[in-house]
Amino acid sequence: MTQHPVRAARRERLAQLGTGPAQTAGTAPSARRGRLQALIGGRPRRPRRIAMLSVHTSPLHQPGTGDAGGMNVYIVELAKRLAELDIEVEVFTRAIASDDAPTVQLAPGVLVRHVTAGPYEGLVKEDLPAQLCAFTHGVLRTEAGHRPGHYDLVHSHYWLSGQVGWLAAERWGVPLVHTMHTMAKVKNASLAEGDTPEPAARVIGETQVVEAADRLIANTAEEAAELSHHYDARGDQLAVVHPGVNLDVFRPGSRSAARAALGLPQDAAVLLFAGRIQPLKAPDVLLRAVAVLLARRPELRERLVVPVVGGPSGTGLAKPESLHKLAAQLGISDVVRFHPPVGQARLAEWYRAATALVMPSYSESFGLVALEAQACGTPVVAAAVGGLPVAVRDGVTGSLVHGHDPARWAAALEPYATAPELVRERGAAAARHAAGFGWDTAAAATAEVYAQAMARPAGGLRLA
């Protein structure tokens, strides 16, 4: 097969890159740095500094509303851990307010750069392709202000960033590593009722990014297979790196104390939804299932609580009150409680307070929320889609449900609402399972992918 001209040009640049030790992030904790260095075995040719691209959502934004979600958490945690590996990270994102500072130090060795591209307000994600030229100009102009070779690698997140990363990597002669997070063809194959299909322009854009990337990081082997099947990704591009969870924040604790802090009854059966309120995440499936469950077991109404923690986003913005109306129509407004998005520490309290976390999503590349809840010792009832079968061990740390029939979901939820011993047993197993998904491991594996991209073509699909 003829080598892609963009990758060939970049490889000429890669041959000239030095292999000396990184000089940045010197203030990162030495103990953690030593642990991370041990994980990657001190392999040579790691980048000194990378440009990380997140066009449509900033790592500084609160997850759970707007376009901020699991990808924001992913970028923040990965960037911090890479900095502790002495890989300096500069995150480029679009400015959405006139008072956004040009640069913000997120953590030692992690700098967020706000790029002006289009109006500050009033743009939705679907409008952003028209602003990619302006965003690319801002990225290239930043690099031009430094000595040649300022960035050793580009890591783009989501297809919009991939379009920018493709051009920047070609211009700078460095490798392009890309993480999809979600894919149009996969989402369109499992749309929720009434949801809007992803446009053809996105499919074309994703195809172009896959063709241009030196490495594609997939969250699971299933996602890697989807990249190969839907986008003709080659085995020598693909690496599987499971995302992590911040085990310092999300950890087991007192359920009683968490419920007291949140004003929840101590004897309640708490079925929690946490995330963005949009058709893709299917919170309506949870509400319909609760209505079926209460029809079967009316005595549960006295102690059933269904918190919905998050705000509308994406296609959910068109009807922000639709979930409230649905709860009223189903006659369950007395058990459903709506709460705005919260920070990680408060979110951990919600997880600890919950009897079970419920994730009825139609599509998930991985499902970081499922890992976070399990790390807090809470079992998860999730749809058997995307990466959730990796995040959740069916029958051990929670339950996987096939399809989105409310009656089937009601049957899956009933044991968690009625069997405290089951909740304790699976909650303990969930905490043990999640402990194997620390961000230190994910960052070390990602650094290995970077080293491979800088050194040589990969030899095929592998678990990093």
Q: Which residues are annotated as a binding site for UDP-N-acetyl-alpha-D-glucosamine?
A: 62-63, 70, 276, 281, 342, 364, 372
The CA–CA distances, whole Å, from 124 to 61, 74, 90, 196, 246 equal: 15, 21, 24, 14, 30
Q: Are the C-beta atoms of residues 65 and 310 closer than 8 Å to each other?
A: yes
Q: Tokens 């802090």 — which residue? A: 261
| β-pair partners for 398 | 380, 394
Return binding residues.
56, 62-63, 67-72, 125, 158, 182, 202, 276, 281, 342, 351-352, 354, 364, 372, 378
The CA–CA distances, whole Å, from 41 to 85, 176, 444, 452 equal: 11, 23, 9, 14
Q: Are the C-beta atoms of residues 390 and 414 closer than 8 Å to each other?
A: no
Rounded to an integer, what distance in angstroms lies between the CA atom of residue 142 and that of residue 145? 5
State how beta strands 356-359 and 336-339 pair: unpaired
The alpha-helical segments, DSSP class H, found in 192-300 are: 200-212, 221-231, 255-262, 283-296
Chain center to CA of 238: 18
Return binding residues for Mg(2+).
351-352, 354, 378
DSSP 266: T
Order of strands, edge to edge, in the sheet holding 238-240? 103-107, 110-115, 88-94, 49-53, 153-157, 176-179, 215-218, 238-240, 462-463
User: Residue 182: which residues within 8 A CB-CB, separation 6 or more?
Assistant: 158, 363, 365
- Which tokens hold the place of 147? 């000595």
Q: Are the C-beta atoms of residues 151 and 198 closer than 8 Å to each other?
A: no
Of 220, 243, 245, nearest in space to 347 by CA = 245
The CA–CA distances, whole Å, from 433 to 247, 378, 387, 409, 448 equal: 12, 11, 15, 23, 24
Convert 432-448 into a string of H (helix), E (strand) and C (coil). Answer: HHHCCCEHHHHHHHHHH
Tell whether the torsion through CA atoms of 26, 27, 30 and 35 is positive or negative: negative
Return binding residues for 1D-myo-inositol 3-phosphate.
56, 67-72, 125, 158, 182, 202
